[in-house]
């Protein structure tokens, strides 16, 4: 059926030409363990004759040995890597399988369906044109069906097939089909899945997979494969406004300057008016350059190099868009975020965001709510954990060009990366820009930081003291403050006493609150730096990421990290405030060093070892350090 | 509506991946092993950066046992591309006289190929290396990412793979880590052949059937490519019409009897054939789990 051996034998050239023009369909199968996913995929591979004789022999042997089908072939074994993966301790995640027929090439993303694999399913769905939602005919629409469908609809997979499997176990009865179809229709409506195709099958027996089943004469629709082969995937992408994120600036010599990228949507022709975003500069397409010669027309999905009629500034990460229907530009958004890491998403912590070819810094606010993927209920949340989906406002360190995800996946979908581990920790979908940022025009002020600092005859900076409780941060900071004052320099001090009781009195000591605590302190310090002051902060600030965040919001050279290094046992033996004792007794929760981690600085500007130097000596050293580097005028 | 074919989609994806690497890597390299997949990869690189020359060198980790025709082909292709060609040979292995006849296929491959590759990546401090591996080659590759991370010891950690969403790739890495990037991940063997045909991509003649001197040993037809072949008593080379489905070290690569002398004939033979591609490769005769192991150890 799949590969026409006669044609291959008699007219290979004709065959090749026919096959060159095949299209590609990427789909995902969503189902829970034992719904028959593996059996279904295995059968599709088998029926498309992509199984070689040696593989078939191995399959037959395996079927007898470990299969569940007696002497019959167990198709699930063809793809069932998952059991083996579990044994080998490999992450159970997405596997990609390939098969092709006369009409199409297919790439199947095969992912497990349990709730703890939500992120894997979303990964598979992110590149899918179509989703096959599997249902066991005996069980009907279940909680997991809702979960799978929710993810499919959130990621905007364009086509949905409801595949009712194991019809053989329900006597191939039409009423079973009708009931499940109706149930699902009611639910799909809520999710905005406007259109889907329901197909009754038996993956095991092969009914309605590639051939119409005479055991279900009441069903007149397409077989699964027929549907996969014919569903329209020349999507409306080409009808959307033109967008191309610039990946690479192509400059072989001084006479050529092209912009390389993959067209995200729309079509383009030489002469078309375009806008470069976020700068907003306009020009026209001059040439569409490819290795095979210039093109008169390029469409969504193609990777090309464009040259422009005018010399406009374009760099990696910019988006070239249709001038009459450009993307929006903003730096604050509401977004859906799916968290993919075992360490929680902490509001206020800056993450690296990659969207299209652009990389920026992104700070999520507290989630507005998270979504129970099984019931679609909205729940209050302070953070997001692994596999949780929430809606959050995010703010970036600069403006980007974007579209809402539901209008354009390439310009509206992003990933979040942890700054320290480099892990991909989340995926997100931009819903809309928050207008408030565009209304607050940043005032270019005449009296600025430089003017204020000059008046005070100093270089403003933050002296960020970090270290365990009882390490001596405040004591040293206090002496530094006195010495600077004596030198007629202008300082301000932020410490637990004046911040925890005022600005941050609403915050506790959970990880989330600690991050928010530091964020506020960093922002206040920044304002004080703008005022020209030398700011002394002494907070445990146990997490590297937050110290990095504080560093990143001021200019280079304005953040001076001072690691007050006192070993835990020494700090504990000092126990000035009796806190360690209480923490050991379990009376204080989340106490740094005891029940909450302290991440030591790796490259602090100043390292103070309090077991070797007195408070006075350390303070003098810090002042000398500042003086040498001309912070004191 | 303009029809975009499967080959166009695969091509656009591979080019996209290559451009991401060129933009984000500090010191990328393309591993070039002279086979058909490398030929396709090189062709795609030319397309990705045209009119520029691809902004990275080619590197061949040479075991010194490749077919002579492969060396000639390699040098010609590199010269035509305008890219630099780095050839790395594991000198220690050479000094120890490691070879497939004397040490067997797995020691030879490990020392000359796997260790050689690690040496070369360390020596030139390449942080991203393009490889031509495909997911359809083997069961354990079905889960391989397009960007696959290796720690400082070049080991692959299957438990620590990053999710790949849409076409956004996270290429950030810690000091000492490196990346293998596989732009042909989603291609099948048939796609490769069909693309070679459509694009008229040069490939070594060894893929085409011709009369060649071969010896039958251990059920494989081995070509006597140079005078290092130790003929056993009673063994004699015979001339047969053969070709190769994959190219590697000649003492480890079995030929198949064939008369397919043109690309369409090769594709025809492949489609009508009933055994999978890797049978001709001595190294893969072990179980598929061993492939996973090799990968963890740094074999591509
Ligand atoms: N009777 C019947 N059994 C099926 C059908 N499809 C799958 N099964 C059986 O259901 C069990 C689980 O199937 P499998 O494909 O491994 O499910 P997966 O966990 O979703 O991949 C196996 O015993 C299959 O043989 C079907 O259409 N009819």
For A222-263, the pLDDT digits (tens) are 999 999 999 987 767 899 999 999 999 999 998 999 999 999
Residues from chain B that touch A262, judged by Cβ atoms under 8 A, are: 12, 15-16, 167
CB A317 within 8 A of CB A357: yes
Higher model confidence: residue A520 or residue A590? A520
pLDDT at A83 over 80: no
- Around ligand 1, the residues with Cβ closer than 6 Å are A 31, 33-39, 68, 76, 165-166, 168-169, 202-204
Which residues, given as ranges, of chain B have pLDDT below 50?
277-300
Dihedral sign computed on CA atoms, order B122, B124, B125, B126: negative
Q: How many helices (H) and strands (E) does chain A have?
A: 20, 28
- Give Cβ neighbours of residue A445 (< 8 Å, ≥ 6 apart): none
pLDDT at A119 over 70: yes
Angle among Cα B24, B27, B32 to the nearest 5 degrees reads 110
Which of A:231-260 have CB within 8 Å of B?
234, 238, 247-248, 250-252, 256, 258, 260
Residue B11 to residue A414, Cβ atoms within 8 A = no
Which of A:81-120 have CB within 8 Å of B?
81, 84-85, 88-91, 93-98, 100, 104-105, 107, 110, 119-120
Query: Which residue shows structure tokens 């006479």?
Result: A255
CA of residue A39 to ligand 1 center, whole Å:
6
pLDDT attached to residue A91:
47
List, for residues A599-625, the tens digit of each pLDDT value: 999 889 999 999 999 999 999 999 999
CB A144 within 8 A of CB A50: no
List, for residues A525-537, the tens digit of each pLDDT value: 999 999 999 999 9
pLDDT average, residue stretch A149-175: 93
Residue A15, classified by CB atoms within 10 Å of its CB into exposed (0-12), middle (13-18) or buried (19+), is: buried
Which of A:338-357 have CB within 8 Å of B?
340, 352, 354-357
> Confidence band (pLDDT; 50, 70, 90) for A456?
confident
Does residue A291 belong to the interface with chain B, where contact is any CB pair within 8 Å? yes
Residue B159 to residue A354, Cβ atoms within 8 A = no
Ligand 1 closest atom vs CA A76 = 15
CB contacts < 8 Å between A and B, how many?
188
pLDDT attached to residue A70:
63
Ligand 1 pocket test, candidate residues A81, A171, A203, A223, most atoms within 8 A of CB: A203
- Give Cβ neighbours of residue A440 (< 8 Å, ≥ 6 apart): none
Angle among Cα A106, A108, A114 to the nearest 5 degrees reads 165
Distance from A393 to chain B by nearest Cα, in Å? 21
CB B82 within 8 A of CB B53: yes
> Crossing angle of helices B189-199/B36-49, nearest 10°?
60
Please list the active-site residues of A: 541
What would the DSSP string read from start to end of A445-467? -SS-HHHHHHHHTS--EEEEEE-
- CB atoms under 10 Å from CB of A217, counted, come to 10
pTM, whole model, 2 decimals? 0.79
Which of A61, A248, A250, A342 should we substitute to test contact with B (largest number of B Cβ atoms within 10 Å)?
A: A248
Cα–Cα distance for residue pair A130/A195, rounded to 1 Å:
12
Q: Which of A393-407, A576-590, B32-46 has the lowest mean pLDDT?
A: A576-590
pLDDT average, residue stretch A298-325: 95
Does residue A443 belong to the interface with chain B, where contact is any CB pair within 8 Å? no
Cα–Cα distance for residue pair A405/B173, rounded to 1 Å:
28
pLDDT attached to residue A285:
97
Cα–Cα distance for residue pair A290/B199, rounded to 1 Å:
14
CB B188 within 8 A of CB B136: yes
Higher model confidence: residue A511 or residue A434? A434
- Give Cβ neighbours of residue A457 (< 8 Å, ≥ 6 apart): A488, A489, A633
Q: Minimal Cα distance from A234: which residue of B?
A: B3
pLDDT at A330 over 90: yes
CB B92 within 8 A of CB B110: no
Structure tokens at A228: 């996969």
Which of A387-415 are b and which e, b meaning 16 or more Cβ less than 10 Å from the residue's Cβ?
bbbbbbbbbbeebbbbbbbebbbbbbbbb
Which of A2, A3, A20, A48 should we substitute to test contact with B (largest number of B Cβ atoms within 10 Å)?
A: A20
Cα–Cα distance for residue pair A564/A583, rounded to 1 Å:
21
B6, B163, B289 ranked by CB distance to A119: nearest: B163
Please state the three-class secondary structure of A318-345 as a single string: CEEEECCCCCEEEEEEEEEEEECCCCCE
Tell me what percent of the residues of chain A surpass a pLDDT of 90.
55
Distance from A377 to chain B by nearest Cα, in Å? 26
Distance from B29 to chain A by nearest Cα, in Å? 17
pLDDT attached to residue B292:
43
Mean pLDDT rounded to a whole number for chain A: 87
Residue A354 to residue B170, Cβ atoms within 8 A = yes
For strand A23-30 and strand A130-136, is the pairing parallel, antiparallel, or unpaired? parallel
pLDDT average, residue stretch A583-601: 88
pLDDT at A80 over 60: no
Cα–Cα distance for residue pair A150/A191, rounded to 1 Å:
7
Residue A22 to residue B6, Cβ atoms within 8 A = yes
B20, B185, B275 ranked by CB distance to A54: nearest: B275
List, for residues A49-75, the tens digit of each pLDDT value: 655 566 666 667 766 666 666 666 676
Q: Which of A27-36, A78-87, A570-579 has the lowest mean pLDDT?
A: A78-87
pLDDT attached to residue B12:
96
Q: Minimal Cα distance from A106: which residue of B?
A: B6
Distance from B90 to chain A by nearest Cα, in Å? 32
CB A244 within 8 A of CB A306: yes
pLDDT at A38 over 90: no
Q: How far apart are the first and last CA of chain A?
A: 83
Angle among Cα A511, A512, A518 to the nearest 5 degrees reads 90
CB B17 within 8 A of CB B183: yes
Q: How many helices (H) and strands (E) does chain B have?
A: 9, 10
Q: Which residue has the least CA distance to atom 26 on ligand 1? A: A166
> Confidence band (pLDDT; 50, 70, 90) for A454?
confident
Ligand 1 closest atom vs CA A207 = 27
Distance from A544 to chain B by nearest Cα, in Å? 16
Residue B275 to residue A9, Cβ atoms within 8 A = no
Cα–Cα distance for residue pair A45/A50, rounded to 1 Å:
6
List, for residues A193-230, the tens digit of each pLDDT value: 878 999 999 999 999 999 999 999 999 999 999 999 99
CB A551 within 8 A of CB A561: yes
Does residue A267 belong to the interface with chain B, where contact is any CB pair within 8 Å? yes
Task: Please count the CA atoms within 13 angstroms of the CA of A86 that sit on its side-chain side.
Answer: 4
């Amino acid at each position: 059926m799949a590969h026409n051996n006669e044609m291959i034998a008699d007219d290979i050239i004709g065959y090749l030409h026919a096959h060159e023009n095949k299209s590609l369909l990427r789909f995902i199968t969503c189902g829970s363990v034992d719904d028959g996913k593996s059996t279904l995929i295995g059968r599709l591979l088998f029926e498309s004759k992509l199984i070689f004789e040696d593989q078939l022999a191995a399959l037959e042997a395996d079927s007898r040995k470990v299969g569940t089908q007696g002497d019959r072939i167990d198709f699930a074994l063809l793809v069932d890597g998952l059991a083996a993966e579990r044994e080998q301790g490999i992450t159970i995640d997405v596997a990609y399988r390939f098969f092709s027929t006369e009409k199409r090439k297919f790439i199947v993303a095969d992912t497990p369906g349990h709730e703890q694999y939500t992120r894997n399913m979303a990964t598979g769905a992110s590149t899918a044109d179509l989703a096959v939602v599997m249902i066991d005919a005996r069980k009907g629409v279940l909680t997991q069906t809702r979960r799978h469908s929710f993810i499919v609809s959130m990621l905007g997979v364009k086509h949905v097939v409801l595949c009712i499997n194991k019809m053989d176990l329900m006597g191939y009865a039409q009423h079973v089909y009708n009931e499940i179809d109706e149930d699902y229709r009611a639910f799909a409506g809520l999710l905005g899945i406007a259109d889907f195709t329901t197909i009754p099958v038996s993956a095991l027996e092969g009914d309605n997979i590639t051939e119409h089943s005479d055991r279900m004469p009441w069903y007149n629709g397409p077989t699964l494969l027929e549907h996969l082969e014919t569903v329209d995937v020349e999507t409306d992408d080409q009808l959307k406004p033109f967008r191309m994120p610039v990946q690479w600036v192509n400059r072989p010599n001084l006479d050529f300057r092209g912009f390389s990228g993959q067209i995200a949507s729309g079509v383009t022709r030489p002469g078309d008016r375009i806008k470069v975003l976020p700068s907003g500069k306009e020009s026209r397409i001059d040439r569409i350059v490819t290795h095979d010669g210039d093109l008169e027309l390029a469409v969504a999905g193609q990777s090309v190099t464009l040259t422009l009629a005018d010399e406009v500034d374009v760099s990696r990460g910019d988006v070239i868009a249709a001038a009459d229907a450009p993307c929006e530009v903003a730096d604050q958004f509401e977004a859906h975020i799916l968290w993919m890491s075992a360490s929680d998403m902490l509001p206020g912590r800056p993450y690296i965001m990659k969207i299209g070819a652009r990389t920026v810094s992104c700070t999520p606010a507290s989630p507005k709510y998270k979504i129970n993927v099984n019931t679609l209920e909205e729940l209050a949340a302070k953070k997001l954990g692994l596999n949780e989906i929430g809606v959050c406002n995010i703010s970036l360190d600069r403006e980007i060009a974007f579209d809402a995800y539901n209008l354009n996946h390439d310009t509206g979908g992003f990933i979040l990366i942890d700054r320290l581990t480099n892990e991909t920790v989340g995926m997100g979908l931009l819903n809309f820009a928050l207008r408030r940022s565009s209304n607050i025009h940043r005032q270019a002020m005449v009296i600025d930081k430089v003017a204020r600092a000059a008046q005070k005859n100093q270089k403003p900076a933050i002296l960020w003291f970090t270290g365990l409780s009882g390490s001596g941060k405040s004591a040293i900071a206090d002496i530094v403050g006195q010495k600077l004052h004596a030198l007629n320099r202008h300082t301000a001090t932020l410490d637990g006493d004046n911040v925890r009781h005022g600005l941050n009195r609403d915050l506790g000591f959970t990880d989330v609150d600690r991050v928010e605590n530091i964020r506020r302190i960093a922002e206040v310090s920044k304002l004080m730096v703008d005022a020209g002051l030398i700011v002394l902060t002494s907070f445990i600030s146990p997490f590297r990421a937050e110290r990095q965040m504080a560093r990143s919001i001021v200019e280079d050279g304005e953040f001076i990290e001072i690691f007050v290094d006192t070993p835990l046992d020494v700090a504990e033996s000092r126990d000035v405030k009796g806190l360690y004792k209480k923490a050991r007794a379990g009376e204080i929760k989340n106490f740094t060093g005891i029940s909450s981690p302290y991440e030591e600085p790796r490259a602090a500007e100043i390292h103070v070892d309090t077991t070797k130097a007195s408070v006075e000596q350390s303070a003098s050293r810090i002042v000398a350090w500042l003086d040498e580097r001309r912070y004191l005028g | 509506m303009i029809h975009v074919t499967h080959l166009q989609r695969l091509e656009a994806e591979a080019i996209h991946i290559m451009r991401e690497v060129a933009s984000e890597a500090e010191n990328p390299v393309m591993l070039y092993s002279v086979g058909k997949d490398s030929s396709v990869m090189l062709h795609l690189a030319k397309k990705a950066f045209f009119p520029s020359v691809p902004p990275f060198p080619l590197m061949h980790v040479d075991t010194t046992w490749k077919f002579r025709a492969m060396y000639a082909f390699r040098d010609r292709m590199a010269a035509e591309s305008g890219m630099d060609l780095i050839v790395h040979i594991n000198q220690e292995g050479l000094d120890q006289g490691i070879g497939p006849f004397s040490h067997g296929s797995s020691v030879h491959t490990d020392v000359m190929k796997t260790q050689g590759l690690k040496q070369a990546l360390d020596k030139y401090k390449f942080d991203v290396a393009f490889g031509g591996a495909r997911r359809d080659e083997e069961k354990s590759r079905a889960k391989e990412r397009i960007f696959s991370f290796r720690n400082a010891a070049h080991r692959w950690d299957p438990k620590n793979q990053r999710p790949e969403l849409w076409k956004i790739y996270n290429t950030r890495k810690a000091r000492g880590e490196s990346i293998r990037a596989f732009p042909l991940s989603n291609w099948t063997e048939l796609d490769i052949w069909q693309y070679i045909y459509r694009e008229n991509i040069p490939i070594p003649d060894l893929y085409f059937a011709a009369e060649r001197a071969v010896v039958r040993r251990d059920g494989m037809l081995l070509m006597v490519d140079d005078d290092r072949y130790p003929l056993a008593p009673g063994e004699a080379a015979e001339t047969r019409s053969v070709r190769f489905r994959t190219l590697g070290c000649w003492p480890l690569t079995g030929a198949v009897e064939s008369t397919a002398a043109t690309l369409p004939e090769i594709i025809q033979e492949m489609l009508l054939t009933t055994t999978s591609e890797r049978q001709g490769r001595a190294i893969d005769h072990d179980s598929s789990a061993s492939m996973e192991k090799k990968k963890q150890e740094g074999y591509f």
